[in-house]
Amino acid sequence: MNYIFYFLIVVSIIIGAINGRLQEVVNALMSGAELSVKIAISLIGIMAFWLGVMNIAEKSGLIAWISKLLKPVTRILFNEIPSDSPAVGDIAMNFTANAFGLANAATPFGIKAMEELQKENDDKSTASNSMCLFLGMNTAGFQLIPTTVLAVLVGIGYKNPTEIIAPTLFVTLIAFIGAIVLAKVFQKFYPTGKVNKEVQDD
């Protein structure tokens, strides 16, 4: 990413110089840097508020309660691992925390879930289908409350930042479902469990 941004800046300066608008490019760079600092400072308040709300939800047991509701769905999606595997609960907790924008709480659950999935993995040198599915679900980033985006919009003075909640929910839901469908489809072409079993039998 650093190379990409460096390339964009250099190209902008060169094109600005060629067109005789170098001063406008420099002004844009300066104003952009100033705006980024203002947004970063304004993020502190809104992020502190939302993280506080989400931490209250976690401490009160709301996140854990929702994750219990999701456990049956998690068992169906991750049917290659035992139903009593600790990974099932960790996956449910990770998904719930991510959905509510509680990234700090979601990360430890995600790491723990991957560790548990690796224990269930027959071939330690290759990611299992369950691990790929879990990674796809995390990458899709389904969110009920897009905390960070809301904070940025508030920081730049957007009049109605909450109007992005519904579109974000719709888009991330489609991405989330798409990731699950694609992972399940590719599992048919790359049945790692079956391959590992054949290797072990040989």
36 located within any domain: no
23 located within any domain: no
DSSP state, residue 161: G
32 located within any domain: no
9 located within any domain: no
13 located within any domain: no
DSSP string for 39-104: HHHHHHHHHHHHHHHHHHHHHTTHHHHHHHHHHHHHHHHTTTS-TT-HHHHHHHHHHHHHHTT-HH
103 located within any domain: yes
pTM of the model: 0.62
116 located within any domain: yes
Its domain, for residue 131, covers 41-201
pLDDT digits (tens, 9 = 90+) for 142-198: 887 777 777 777 767 778 878 888 888 898 899 989 999 998 888 888 766 443 444
Higher pLDDT, 191 or 22: 22
Nearest to 50 by CA among 151, 144, 197: 151
**Helices 62-77 & 86-99 angle (0-180, nearest 10):** 120
Domain count of the fold of the chain: 1
54 located within any domain: yes
